[in-house]
Amino acid sequence: GQQVMQIPQYQHVQEGEDFTTYCNSSTTLSNIQWYKQRPGGHPVFLIQLVKSGEVKKQKRLTFQFGEAKKNSSLHITATQTTDVGTYFCAGRKIGTSYGKLTFGQGTILTVHP
Amino acid sequence: DVKVTQSSRYLVKRTGEKVFLECVQDMDHENMFWYRQDPGLGLRLIYFSYDVKMKEKGDIPEGYSVSREKKERFSLILESASTNQTSMYLCASIGRQGADTQYFGPGTRLTVL
């Protein structure tokens, strides 16, 4: 079946440092989404990337979708304590039903003030 | 705002009990999903439903069943709870037909003793 691997599993940074999490799929994706889950909360949608090579920015967050549509990354510049949480990527394999996503394992980000 | 609610935040059951987890969404969404979340494994799809009385197996359906008698309500059933079903259960729905963005409920943390 489709596998989506996400690394690293954990990342500890000092406030102000940058952070990147990577997502890699075994199959070509129709699109990829990123979610953030705050401690004790539920996943909340951040963004969707659809096009090959697409780059999108949300303030300090930069999202990339690979040319082959098999990998993606989320980069946070100058982390803040409010960035703490678990970041998940989720992809839909081409030809599968809408909404049937495969989630990565998540990266737990800790930011030390 | 889309609202997805789950019947309980915390639940403690005994091995062998029948367990019902309920999810309700208030935005007339056709598609609803049940996931379980475990540390290091991310979110794994148990079952999903595209319409009333319709259901499809996800990646880990064993030991679970579902019911969708009304459009707004999607129930997850553990016929005979086991300790390895101790987990966080998350319900989600899709905002509009053809979209992948998932709206999650707050989650139910189930402990099976």
CB proximity B45 to A under 8 Å: yes
CA distance A77 to chain B (A): 24
Q: Which residues contact B70 (CB under 8 A, 6 or more apart)?
A: B52
In the predicted model, what is the mean pLDDT of chain A?
94
CA neighbor of B17 nearest in space, from B90, B87, B91, B83: B83
Q: What is the mean pLDDT of residues B75-82?
A: 97
CB proximity A10 to B under 8 Å: no
Within 59-78 of A, beta carbons closer than 8 Å to B belong to none
Residues shown for chain B: 113
Within 10 angstroms of residue A60's Cβ, the number of other Cβ atoms is 14
Q: Which residues contact A59 (CB under 8 A, 6 or more apart)?
A: none
Q: What is the mean pLDDT of residues B38-49?
A: 92
DSSP state of A41: S
| Band of residue A2 on the pLDDT scale cut at 50, 70, 90 | low
Among candidates B42, B50, B104 on the partner chain, residue whose Cβ is nearest the Cβ of A105? B42
Residue B40 has pLDDT above 90, yes or no: no
| Band of residue B98 on the pLDDT scale cut at 50, 70, 90 | low
Query: What per-residue confidence (pLDDT) applies to B1?
Result: 67
Q: Which residues contact B11 (CB under 8 A, 6 or more apart)?
A: B19, B21, B108, B109, B110, B111
The percentage of chain B sitting over the pLDDT mark of 90, rounded to a whole number, equals 79
